Amino acid sequence: MRIVIAFVAVLLLSATPLGSSVAQRGMAPPRVTVLSLEPLPRMGSEQRFRATVRVDNLNTEPLKMRGIDFSLRIAHQGFIDVYIPPMTVEALDQQLITLDLRSEIMASVSQLLALSDGPENTLAYEIIGKVTFERGRIDPLSFSSEGYVPIVLSGDR
């Protein structure tokens, strides 16, 4: 009798974490890539940028997200906190998002251009973040990536 009670207790206590881990097994976070970075006119002490970001769903199921929170570090100059609002990315699909970013810790445009590489004026970037899903039983997934983003200079400057 004690063995049966102990067995039932173990099943009840482990059912929730087991169900949660099974739901997450095989699920990959979206791949977030910065495609372009356009400096905008300063506003006070803040350097502003317009970033085009691609969110790729690498899963065979749609990703229904409450949001994506990440920190973006450009040219080793400090982090900008970024939030992408709720969205759904269909299975094996991608979405492009344009974001207006502000930072008081980023270098001026001329300093960033001095740090850029090659004729394409690319800058190294790093992303560290987490995605939160609509379904509450799925824990947020962390992700990170790095790459190079071209600086796009508009003719309006």
Q: Looking at residue 21, what is its pLDDT?
A: 35
Q: Looking at residue 27, what is its pLDDT?
A: 83
Would 15 be classed as within a structural domain?
Answer: no
pLDDT in tens, 126-148: 999 999 999 867 889 999 999 99
Residue 18, SS3? helix
Write out the E strands in the chain: 31-43, 46-56, 63-74, 79-84, 87-89, 94-103, 122-133, 141-150
d(CA 24, CA 105) in angstroms, rounded, equals 37
Would 6 be classed as within a structural domain?
Answer: no
CATH number for the domain spanning 48: value is 2.60.40.1820
Structure tokens at 78: 């400090």
Query: Taking residues 10-19, what's their average pLDDT?
Result: 42
pTM to 2 decimal places: 0.79
Residue 105: domain span: 27-150
d(CA 14, CA 24) in angstroms, rounded, equals 16
Would 14 be classed as within a structural domain?
Answer: no
Query: Taking residues 2-8, what's their average pLDDT?
Result: 50
Instruction: Enter the DSSP assignment of 57.
Output: -
Q: Looking at residue 108, what is its pLDDT?
A: 75
pLDDT above 60 (res 2): no
pLDDT in tens, 24-55: 557 899 999 999 999 999 888 898 999 999 99
* Whether 106 contacts 78, CB under 8 Å: yes
d(CA 44, CA 71) in angstroms, rounded, equals 22
pLDDT above 70 (res 23): no
Share the mean pLDDT of the chain: 83
Would 44 be classed as within a structural domain?
Answer: yes
Structure tokens at 59: 């899963």
Number of domains in the chain: 1
Would 102 be classed as within a structural domain?
Answer: yes
Kind of pairing, strands 87-89 and 79-84? unpaired
